Structure 1
Amino acid sequence: MQRIRLNLNQLEETLLITLWAKALDSKLPVPMLGDTHSAEIADRIDYDFSTLKIKDSLTYETALRSRMLDDAVRSFTTAHPNAVVVDLGCGLDPRMIRCHPPAGIDWYDVDFPEVVALRPQFLPESTHLIGADITDPDWPADIPRDRPAIIIAEGLIPFLPSDSFQLLTRTLTTHFTTGEIALNGYTRFAAWAMKYHPTIKALGIKAATGFDDPRIPETWNTGLTLIDEDFLTRAPQIAAWPQPLRALTRAMSHSTTLSRQGARILRYHF
C-alpha cells in the first residue's frame, strides 16, 4: 500500500493529533470510540506519529469526547431527520460514518481548503465539502438555512484567534433559523495550558483563551441557550479506563471546578 505524504502547515497539521488519538483508541482492548476508520486512514499517511507524543490520557479523553459529540449528533438527527449537520474543523475525521445519520440528512464537512481537498483520498463518504476560512462571515452561504442544524466543533476553539469564536457563533445563529451547537469547551486555564502540552508544543501552536462559565456564550447576543454541560470525568465509560487514570479522573469528578479543567461537552440551543 502506497502511503500518502501530506503537505500541511502547522495549524492544519493539528488534525493529526485527534486522528492518531482515535486510531490508538481503536486498538485498545476496550476502546472508548472504536473508530477503526481513523486507524485505517492513519496507516495510509506517511508521517511519524510518534513525534506527536500522545499520552494515554489524551487518547482516552479524545475518544470519549468524540463519542459524546457523536451521541449529540445522533440524538439531534433522530429528532430532526431532515436536518443539516455542520462539522467545523473536520480534519480527516470520519464522523458521518460513525454516526450513520438518516437518509434525509445533509452533512457538511468544513475545514481549510487544503484539508478538505485531502478527504476524498481517504474517505468514501458522500458529504458536502466546504474549504473556507470560518472567520469569514460569508462562508456558510451555500448551506441550506431553512432547516434545523446541528453544528459540531471538536478541538476547534483554542486555535481560533481572539474573539473569532464569538463572531463565528453569530454567523451561524444568523444563518440558520434554529438548531444546536455542540463543542468540547475549554476553560481559560485549559486553553492557556494547551500550549505547554508536548503534543501542541511539538507543532508550535499557541492556543487562544477559552471561557470558564458555560453561560458566557449566552451573553454574546447570539441567541444561545445552554442545554447541557457534561463532564467527561462523570461519564460512565470512565469505569473502563485503566488505573491510575481511572482513580484520578474519579477523584476530579467530585469537583465541578476540576472537572471543567479536564474536559466537558457543551450543548447550546438557538
Structure 2
Amino acid sequence: MPSLQLDFSPVQETLLLTLYARAQDSRAPAPILGDTLAAAIADRIAQDTGYDFGRLKVRPSLVASTALRAKKLDDVVRQFTTTHPEAVVVDLGCGLDTRMARCTPPAGVDWYDVDLPQVTELRQQYLPGRSHLVATDITAESWSEVLPDDRPTMIVAEGVLPFLPGDSFQAMIRQLTTRLRAGELALNGYTRFAAWAMRYDASIKALGIDAAQGFDDPREPERWNAGLTLISERLLTRAPEVAAFPQPVRALTRLVAHSTAMSRQGARILHYRF
C-alpha cells in the first residue's frame, strides 16, 4: 500500500513532470544531463505513493529539451559559483530539481531552494541536503528578506515564467534585484507563442494547465525597472548536445536551427546581469 499521498495542484504537479523527464534522460543510452539522482527519486515516489508517471505522457522531445535546458542552466550556475565561491544561489520554484547536487558548488556558497510548503516538505523527504529551504509563494512580497543581501547572487528560474499570472513574475524579479546587491539571473525564456502553445502539449493537457505567460524580445526584461542587462540569449536548437536527441526530434531541431525566429519558439536560455 502507498505510504504517502500527493496532494498537488496541476501547476505543482509539473515538478513531477520535469523530474520524470530528467529521469528518463538518465536512462537513455547517451544521456544529455545524466541525472541519475532524479531517476532514483522518481522510483521512490512511485513506490511510496503509487503515482503513475505514465499519465504525464512524456514524449522524447520533452525529455530531450528538459535535459538540455537544465544542463545549460547548470553551466551558468557553475560558472558563477566558480567566479564567486562565496556567492548565494536562489533556485526559484525548485520543485524536486537536483541542481545543487549536479553543480556541486564550493563550500562557501549558500544555496536557497524556494517553493511552496507542500513542495519543500516533499523535498525534505526525498532530497535532503545542505541547501536552505524557503517554503513560500514566490510571488509573496516579503519572503526575500531571508536572503543575504551583501554577496553576489545567482537567481535561477527554470520553468516558472509561463505559470505565473499577469505581471507577477516581473514583480518578483524586481523585488529580488532591488533588495540584492548584485548578481545574475538565468531563466528559460518562453516567447508568447511558445507559452500559448504549451497548453496543447500532451503532458500539459494531461495536467489540465492553462499556461500563457511569455515575452518575445530578450531585452524586454531590461524594461522591467529591475536593473537587468542582457548578457546572452542561447538558442538551444543550436547546442551541440542536439546530436544526442533521438530521431526524428534531432532532424526537426536541426532544421529549426537555421531560423533564429523559429529557434526562439523552442527552448532558449536568457542570462542577465543586475
TM-score interval (norm. to shorter):
over 0.9
Q: What is the Cα deviation at residue 242 of structure 1?
A: 2.3
Q: What is the Cα deviation at residue 5 of structure 1?
A: 3.3
Q: Deviations over 1:39-93 (max 9, x none)?
A: 0110011210010001000000000000000000000000000100000010011
- Contact 1:4 1:44 (8 Å CA) reproduced: no
The answer for the alignment partner of 2:94 in structure 1 is: 90
Aligned match of 2:234 in 208, 230, 234? 230
The answer for the alignment partner of 2:41 in structure 1 is: 41
Secondary structure of 1:196's partner?
coil
- The alignment of Structure 1 onto Structure 2 pairs a total of residues equal to 270
Q: Give the TM-score taking structure 2 as reference length.
A: 0.96
Matches within 5 A, 1:11-90: 11-45=11-45, 46=49, 47-90=51-94
The answer for the alignment partner of 2:200 in structure 1 is: 196
Aligned match of 2:223 in 204, 216, 219? 219
Q: What is the Cα deviation at residue 241 of structure 1?
A: 1.7
Q: Give the TM-score taking structure 1 as reference length.
A: 0.98
The answer for the alignment partner of 2:7 in structure 1 is: 7
Q: What is the Cα deviation at residue 244 of structure 1?
A: 1.8
The answer for the alignment partner of 2:103 in structure 1 is: 99
Aligned amino acid, residue 183 of structure 2:
G
Q: What is the Cα deviation at residue 7 of structure 1?
A: 2.1
Q: What is the Cα deviation at residue 233 of structure 1?
A: 0.3
Q: Give the whole-Å Cα distance in 2 for the aligned partners of 1:68 and 1:3.
A: 36
Q: Give the whole-Å Cα distance in 2 for the aligned partners of 1:84 and 1:156.
A: 20
Aligned match of 2:173 in 161, 165, 169? 169
Runs of 4+ more than 6 Å apart: none
Q: Deviations over 1:101-150 (max 9, x none)?
A: 00000000000111011111111311100011111121111110110000
Secondary structure of 1:205's partner?
coil
Q: Give the whole-Å Cα distance in 2 for the aligned partners of 1:237 and 1:144.
A: 36
Matches within 5 A, 1:148-167: 148-167=152-171
Identity of aligned residues (%): 63
- Contact 2:93 2:138 (8 Å CA) reproduced: no
- Contact 2:10 2:207 (8 Å CA) reproduced: yes
Secondary structure of 1:230's partner?
strand
- Contact 2:32 2:241 (8 Å CA) reproduced: yes
Q: What is the Cα deviation at residue 240 of structure 1?
A: 1.8
Q: Give the whole-Å Cα distance in 2 for the aligned partners of 1:11 and 1:4.
A: 20
5+ residue gaps, structure 1, are none
The answer for the alignment partner of 2:134 in structure 1 is: 130
What CA RMSD, in Å, does the superposition of the two structures yield over aligned residues?
1.2
Secondary structure of 2:97's partner?
coil
Q: Give the whole-Å Cα distance in 2 for the aligned partners of 1:31 and 1:206.
A: 30
5+ residue gaps, structure 2, are none
Q: Deviations over 1:182-233 (max 9, x none)?
A: 0000000000111111111111111122000100000111110000100110
Q: Give the whole-Å Cα distance in 2 for the aligned partners of 1:69 and 1:4.
A: 31
- Contact 2:218 2:270 (8 Å CA) reproduced: yes
Secondary structure of 1:262's partner?
coil
